[in-house]
Amino acid sequence: MPLNSTQQHKPHHFRHSLISLSDIQRIQKMVSKVKRSPVKSIKDLRNSNNHSNRRWRRKTSIKNVVAASSAGLATIRRRITKLFFKIAHLSTSAHKKKATSYNILKKTKTTTDEHEQLDNIRRTLLFDDTTTLLPPSFSLRKTVFLDLDETLVHSHPSPPPERFDFVVRPVIGGEPMDFYVLKRPGVDEFLESLAAKYEVVVFTAALKEYASMVLDRLDRNRFISHRLYRDSCRNIDGKLVKDLNETGRDLKRVVIVDDNPNSFSNQPDNAILIRPFVDDIFDRELWKLKSFFNESDCCECDDMRDAVKHYVTVQQRR
């Protein structure tokens, strides 16, 4: 088809200014990319900014909390340290005050009366009461005081008698002496029977140097609880008296057996006068006393003096 005149005569520069096909395709690709990526609005931009701000604020608040906690712990630590220092100071001050008070008490002087009271307490606790001849007794048993010579035994100095059971050799006044001792019939059985129900005490006016040796041989089985010698007697008008008031025992609960009336002159109602023993092998006095002390009326009576009175009355009638 032939071109018209207009088409045939277009200038050359105009043909070169037209958009080519390749350019159009490039533009279409760019447009399609733009369409696929969403365009953010102002609102979206604001929301995005707020979200980032919140994250920054959250991080900032956590840091602040950690910092505040560290500061609080440091404060608590400082206060606890101060508190411990105060407690240590107070305890040290109190210790010094106590020590000072103790020193003051140590320097305080005690009076004579206080010393005497303390001595009495010590003697009581140690059972060493010098006001009584015997230590305190916490037993419910009654007490029987027995004389030694002519009551339980008879002693004879040299030369030796016809009959004797053993010999003791004490030193008296710096001189050795021989004593030949004869036991009263029934003495062994009497001591054993008596010790089963009573507190047995030997109260003798003999010297300890002699009497202790005799008792060691006589009382092999230790039936005798205590021993009192001449130094425990009272000298009244030249007579040796065995004062039961000084023994520390209740007079309602004691009996004394002796062959010498002078020995129990202060408490005659508590005494049983026994016939003196010399060498009578048929003597029966201890057998009588054994029966008396084993009687239920004697063991259970409230006042031993009543039982003694009854026994003495019965013996006098015979």
Residue carrying the six token digits 């015997």: 134
Same structural domain for residues 148 and 290?
yes
For residues 25 and 102, the model is more confident at 25
Running DSSP on this structure, what letter comes out for residue 213?
Answer: H
Q: What is the amino acid identity at position 134?
A: L
Does residue 254 sit in the same domain as residue 164?
A: yes
Label residue 131 by pLDDT band (50, 70, 90): confident
Q: How confident is the model at residue 107 (pLDDT cuts 50, 70, 90)?
A: very low
Q: Could you list the active site residues?
A: 147, 149
DSSP class of 149: B
Query: What are the two backbone dihedrals, phi and then psi, of residue 189, each rounded to the nearest 5 degrees?
Result: -65, -35
Has residue 182 been placed in a domain? yes
Q: What is the pLDDT of residue 76?
A: 75
Q: What pLDDT does 111 receive?
A: 52
Give residue 289's pLDDT band: very low, low, confident or very high (50, 70, 90).
Answer: very high
Question: Per-residue confidence at 26, pLDDT binned at 50, 70, 90?
Answer: low
In a domain, 168, yes or no: yes
For residue 122, what pLDDT is reported?
45
Name which residue leads in pLDDT, 255 or 125. Answer: 255
| Segment 158-184, tens digit of pLDDT | 999 999 999 999 999 999 999 999 999
Same domain, 74 and 188: no
Greater confidence (54 vs 207) lies with 207
Task: Look up the pTM and report it.
Answer: 0.61
Q: What percent of the chain has pLDDT over 90?
A: 54
Q: Which of 224, 222, 223, 242 has the alpha carbon at shortest distance from 232?
A: 242
271: helix, strand or coil: strand
> If residue 55 lies in a helix (H) or strand (E), which one and from where to where?
helix 42-107
Asked, as a colleague might, if the bond just before 159 is cis with ω within 30 of 0, I would say: yes
User: Are 257 and 268 members of one domain?
Assistant: yes
Give the span between the Cα atoms of 187 and 208, in whole angstroms. 21
| 158 within a domain of the structure (yes/no) | yes
Helix, strand or coil, per DSSP, at residue 292:
helix
Range of the domain at 70: 54-108
- Do 264 and 313 lie in one domain? The reply is yes
Does the pLDDT of residue 220 top 80, yes or no?
Answer: yes
The verdict on residue 300 lying in a domain is yes
Q: Name the residue with tokens 């490039």.
A: 26
Tally of CA atoms within 13 A in the half-sphere of 228 that contains its CB: 25
DSSP string, 155-190: EEESSP-S--SEEE--EETTEE--EEEEEPTTHHHH
pLDDT of residue 129: 46
Give the residue-averaged pLDDT of 277-292. Answer: 96
C-beta separation of 228 from 117 below 8 A:
no
Q: Please tell me whether residues 129 and 172 are part of one structural domain.
A: no
pLDDT confidence bin for 36, thresholds 50/70/90: low
Distance of alpha carbon 239 from alpha carbon 221, whole angstroms: 33
The one-letter amino acid at 317: R
Question: Which of 138, 153, 180 lies at the terminal end of a domain, its last residue?
Answer: 138
C-alpha pair distances (Å), 135 with each of 52, 205, 243, 253: 102, 20, 16, 16
pLDDT in tens, 251-263: 999 999 999 999 9
Residue 3 lies inside a defined structural domain of this protein: no
Per-residue confidence (pLDDT) for residue 184, from 0 to 100: 99
Number of domains into which the chain is organized? 3
Q: Do 306 and 161 share a structural domain?
A: yes
